[in-house]
Amino acid sequence: MEVRDEMLLRVFFSDHGDPKDRERLLRATVKRHQDAAARLGDHRPKAASHGPSCRLEVLDFGIAFHRFCADWFS
């Protein structure tokens, strides 16, 4: 898996900046991942109504990934 995320890169270098800026960055990153998980979750009922599928599995992965990221950055 390859991860390319501008916010993650900004967090990496945030030790060299103002701690208040880092806090704002982390809050924004958490919100971005929470919002992404929620948007994906909105699609789950329709996807699940078709029964088990690879699409549903990938959707669940995306939801879990964004929830993990939100927790990790918290």
Mean pLDDT on 38-54: 96
Q: How far apart are CA 15 and CA 57, in angstroms?
A: 37
Kindly list the distances between the CA atom of residue 4 and the CA atoms of 1, 13, 68, 71, in Å, as whole numbers in the listed order. Answer: 10, 15, 16, 18
Q: Tell me the pLDDT tens digit for each residue of 7-27.
A: 999 999 999 999 999 999 999
Give percent of the chain above pLDDT 70: 100
pLDDT value, residue 1: 87
pTM, full prediction: 0.88
Q: How far apart are CA 36 and CA 47, in angstroms?
A: 17
